[in-house]
Amino acid sequence: MKKIMLFFVSLCLIGCASGGKIVTSDEFHQVNISMSVDELIKIMGKPYSITKLEGGYLEYKYIERQTAADRVLVERHYLFVIKDNKVTSKKQVDLNRPSYERDSYEMQTSTNQKQELSE
């Protein structure tokens, strides 16, 4: 019985393992403008994607996802613009903000808006 439990616990831990570094806003805030790409990668890890922009700029994208029961609760994209091997700008984009961070206007549904218009 103990061997079976150990097997299932091991299986659960393996399933929770991440293929790469987990990125958070703490790491994002550690990156400063004018840091080298090597310093960026040392803090943030390997980027999710690298996109070529006009003017010789590159955009490094990192993604943070907070999930529960196979549902993405929060998704943040951390974007770094690179020129001449240096960070020139950075930006955080929240795609799925938790409901407690939204204001009442954002939480209105189209059904509620239609009812208000018809009155």
CATH of the domain at 55: 3.30.1450.10
User: 3-state DSSP call for residue 17?
Assistant: coil
Distance CA 92, CA 28 (A): 8
pLDDT at 110 over 90: no
Do the domain assignments include residue 61? yes
pLDDT tens-digit readout, 52-77? 999 999 999 999 988 888 888 888 99
**What's the number of domains the chain is made of?**
1
**What mean pLDDT do residues 81-87 have?**
97
Q: Is residue 12 part of a domain?
A: no
CB 102 within 8 A of CB 73: no
pLDDT for 69 equals 84
Per-residue confidence (pLDDT) for residue 100, from 0 to 100: 63
Order of strands across the sheet that contains 49-52: 49-52, 58-68, 71-83, 86-94
Domain residue limits at 61? 19-97
More confident residue, 7 or 83: 83
The verdict on residue 78 lying in a domain is: yes
Q: What is the pLDDT of residue 36?
A: 97
Question: Rounded distance, CA 87 to CA 40, Å?
Answer: 8
